[in-house]
């Protein structure tokens, strides 16, 4: 028997395990389907590419065929390791726009405005800038900002010059007063080491005798007593196990696994459950609905100078860099490869930026698993505020069967228009004099791809996920909301969801720091504490 069962030791679960077990009289059990995060690639900032190529620490999901992508399926990685996606992601530590959170509150997520959330963003980080209005200095996650512009590579400097010459603003802090503009991104690594939820929050708590961490534990069902959640059934090394609680169960499996487990346990849309022979415990038609993700699409440009990161991807230099990191924590692997990012508006009348750019000093495809053997750079764009929504649904009553993941990319035609405008803005920047010294020919989509129709086909044929799945257990106050603003599952007792799935809408940036903020705020809710709003 335990007081709290947390299902999923990812970005949220590790934080909850730390905060809830801080009271030595409280017993906490943390379940994780994956294994330990001991591989050196999990620690190395540039390890993201090796992790993706090897497929380690990952559920390695695929979406269902996407009509908006001309019938293609999409690789859809999710963390399956201690630390979850914070252990395998690209280490971009951005929060989105202040308006994202105010929009949550206005939609029915009372208590989740930007002013309500900012204290928890500050609480979780120890920022290289020190303690400021927008940043904390004593949290478990060490955060650094990319190098000053004058210290960047020629390519990084060119992006800033191009944006300014084209009339776009510069953001002094993409997590500060104004997100709009080109800026230097924050990243969660320091002294050459990734700052994942497991290497920080969980590591700090592992010596506590009242915290039990069980890896290799695949949750198969929530045990119910009437309308109350009382335990978790899981499989470990081929054996069925059950752990019970008189307290609370907290699902932190993410936007795919949390709705899947709810549905397998009889909490969801009744017709779907009955179709798979599952008894209905609670009618919750919103479970699995509303999936959002940022699709990304790129302008790939050759360069006439050997200034890209291509040499470091070659076997000999890559091995040398790995050894240099393992022995001395020095070398090219100390970076996640992002010097500059931008948030722009495609139309001046918009209140907030609607597109995001990751500027990369390398040409690759297939999620970085295949490097293009030419010197070049990329503007990787995504729609910050997509209108398209999809779903996650169980494919059967088998808990080991992958669910049906349908992001429904570009189902709203406005998303396609925004994507098209983003590519044209990228071309506008690359055409400025800032790139004259090293601009080569366009690798993709190619100079001949100019019309709306041709750009639309390029977007549909080449877009990928950028791994920001959210909103499948949406928080709100309406009948279809899965959880209330305290993140308690509606219609069930003793059960909460704390992860990316509760976001009413995806934030307009990378999602990892937001998930950590949600977990910090949820821990205080569970413990009946509260930080004062900013």
Establish whether 468 is a catalytic residue. yes
pLDDT digits (tens, 9 = 90+) for 187-210: 999 999 999 999 999 999 999 999
pLDDT tens per residue, range 382-394: 999 999 999 999 9
At 320, is the pLDDT very low, low, confident or very high (cuts 50, 70, 90)? confident
**pLDDT top residue among 146 and 327:** 146
- Domain spans of the chain, in order of start: 1-47+74-141+193-287+470-528
Q: Mean of the pLDDT values across residues 503-521? A: 99
- Mean pLDDT confidence for 339-359: 97
User: What is the percentage of the chain residues whose pLDDT exceeds 70?
Assistant: 99
Q: Compute the distance between CA of residue 36 and CA of residue 492 in angstroms, rounded to an integer.
A: 32
pLDDT (mean) for 114-138: 97
CA dihedral 54, 399, 463, 513 (to 10 degrees): -80
pLDDT digits 0-9 by tens, 8-50: 999 999 999 999 999 999 999 999 999 999 999 999 999 988 8
Residue 456 sits at φ, ψ, to 5 deg, of -60, -40
Summarize the chain as % helix, strand, coil (round to 5).
30, 25, 45
Q: Give the Cα separation of 384 and 69 in Å (integer).
A: 18
The predicted model gives 83-110 an average pLDDT of 98
Q: Which letter does DSSP use for residue 367 in this model?
A: T
Measure the CA–CA gap between 347 and 352, rounded to whole angstroms: 10
Sorting pLDDT into bands at 50, 70 and 90, what band is 145? Answer: very high
Helix (H) or strand (E) holding 439: strand 439-444
| Predicted local distance difference test score (pLDDT) of residue 313 | 86
E strands present in 116-238? 125-127, 141-145, 181-183, 186-187, 189-190, 193-194, 211-215, 218-225, 228-236
Is the Cβ–Cβ distance between 499 and 8 less than 8 Å?
A: yes
Q: Which of 135, 294, 358, 468 is catalytic?
A: 468
| pLDDT tens profile 238-261 | 999 999 999 999 999 999 999 999
Q: How confident is the model at residue 315 (pLDDT cuts 50, 70, 90)?
A: confident
Query: CA–CA separation, 356 vs 385, rounded Å?
Result: 10
pLDDT of residue 378: 98
In the predicted structure, residue 78 carries a pLDDT above the cut 60: yes
The chain-wide mean pLDDT, for the chain, equals 96
pLDDT at 352 (0 to 100): 95
Q: In terms of Cα–Cα distance, which of 354, 378, 200 is closest to 302? A: 378
Residue 334: the pLDDT is: 81
Comparing 335 with 281, the larger pLDDT belongs to: 281
CB 37 within 8 A of CB 247: no
Residues in the chain: 534
**Separation between Cα atoms, residue 433 and residue 206, nearest integer Å:** 54
Residue with tokens 């959880």: 483
Taking the C-alpha atoms of residue 173 and residue 402, their distance in angstroms, rounded to an integer, is 40
Residue in 217, 210, 265 with CA at minimum distance from that of residue 241 = 217
- Enumerate the known binding-site residues for FAD: 81, 89-92
pLDDT at 529: 82
pLDDT reported for residue 325: 85
* Residue 359 in tokens: 């500027």
- Separation of alpha carbons 352 and 343, rounded Å: 9
Above 70 in pLDDT, residue 532? no
Which fold, 1-47+74-141+193-287+470-528? FAD/NAD(P)-binding domain (3.50.50)
Mean pLDDT computed over 138-143: 98
User: pLDDT band at 365, cuts 50/70/90?
Assistant: very high
Is the pLDDT confidence value at 344 over 90?
yes
């Amino acid at each position: 028997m335990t007081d709290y069962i947390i299902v999923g030791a990812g970005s949220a679960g590790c934080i909850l395990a730390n905060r809830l077990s801080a009271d030595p009289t409280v017993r906490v059990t943390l379940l994780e389907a994956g294994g330990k995060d001991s591989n050196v690639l999990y620690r190395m900032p540039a390890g993201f590419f090796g992790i993706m190529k090897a497929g380690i620490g990952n559920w390695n999901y695929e979406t269902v065929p996407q009509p908006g992508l001309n019938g293609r399926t999409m690789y859809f990685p999710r963390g399956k390791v201690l630390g979850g996606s914070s252990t395998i992601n690209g280490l971009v530590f951005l929060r989105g726009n202040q308006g994202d959170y105010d929009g949550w509150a206005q939609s029915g997520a009372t208590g989740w405005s930007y002013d309500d959330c900012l204290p928890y963003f500050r609480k979780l980080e120890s920022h290289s800038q020190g303690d400021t209005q927008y940043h904390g200095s004593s949290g478990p996650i060490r955060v650094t900002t990319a190098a000053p512009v004058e210290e960047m590579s020629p390519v990084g400097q060119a992006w800033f010059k191009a944006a300014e010459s084209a009339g776009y603003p510069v953001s002094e802090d993409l997590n500060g007063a104004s997100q709009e503009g080109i800026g230097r991104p924050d990243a969660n690594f320091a002294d050459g080491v990734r700052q994942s939820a497991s290497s920080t929050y969980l590591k700090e708590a592992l010596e506590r005798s009242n915290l039990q961490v069980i890896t290799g534990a695949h949750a198969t069902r929530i045990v119910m007593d009437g309308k109350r959640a009382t335990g978790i059934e899981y499989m470990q090394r081929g054996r069925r196990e059950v752990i019970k609680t008189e307290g609370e169960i907290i699902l932190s499996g993410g936007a795919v696994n949390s709705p899947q487990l709810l549905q397998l346990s009889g909490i969801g849309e009744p017709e779907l459950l009955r179709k798979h022979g599952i008894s209905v415990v609670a009618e919750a038609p919103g479970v699995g609905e509303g999936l959002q993700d940022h699709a990304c699409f790129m302008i790939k440009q050759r360069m006439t100078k050997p200034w890209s990161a291509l040499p470091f991807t070659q076997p000999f230099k890559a091995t040398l860099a790995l050894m240099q990191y393992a022995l001395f924590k020095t070398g090219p692997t100390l970076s996640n490869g992002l010097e500059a990012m931008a948030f722009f508006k495609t139309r001046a009348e918009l209140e907030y930026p609607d597109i995001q750019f990751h500027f990369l000093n390398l040409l690759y495809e297939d999620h970085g698993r295949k490097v293009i053997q030419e010197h070049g750079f990329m503007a990787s764009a995504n729609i910050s505020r997509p209108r398209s929504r999809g779903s996650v649904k169980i494919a059967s009553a088998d808990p080991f069967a992958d669910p049906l993941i349908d992001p429904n990319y570009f189902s709203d035609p406005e998303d396609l228009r925004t994507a098209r405008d983003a590519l044209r803005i990228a071309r506008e920047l690359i055409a400025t004099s800032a790139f004259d010294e090293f601009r080569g020919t366009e690798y993709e989509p190619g100079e001949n791809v100019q019309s709306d129709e041709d750009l639309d086909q390029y977007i549909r044929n080449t877009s990928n996920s950028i791994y920001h799945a959210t909103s499948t257990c949406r928080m709100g106050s309406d009948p279809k909301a899965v959880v209330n603003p305290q993140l308690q599952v509606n219609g069930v007792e003793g059960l909460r969801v704390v992860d990316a799935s509760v976001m009413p809408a995806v934030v307009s940036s990378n999602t990892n720091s937001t998930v950590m903020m949600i977990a910090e705020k949820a821990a205080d809710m569970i413990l009946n504490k509260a930080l004062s709003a900013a």
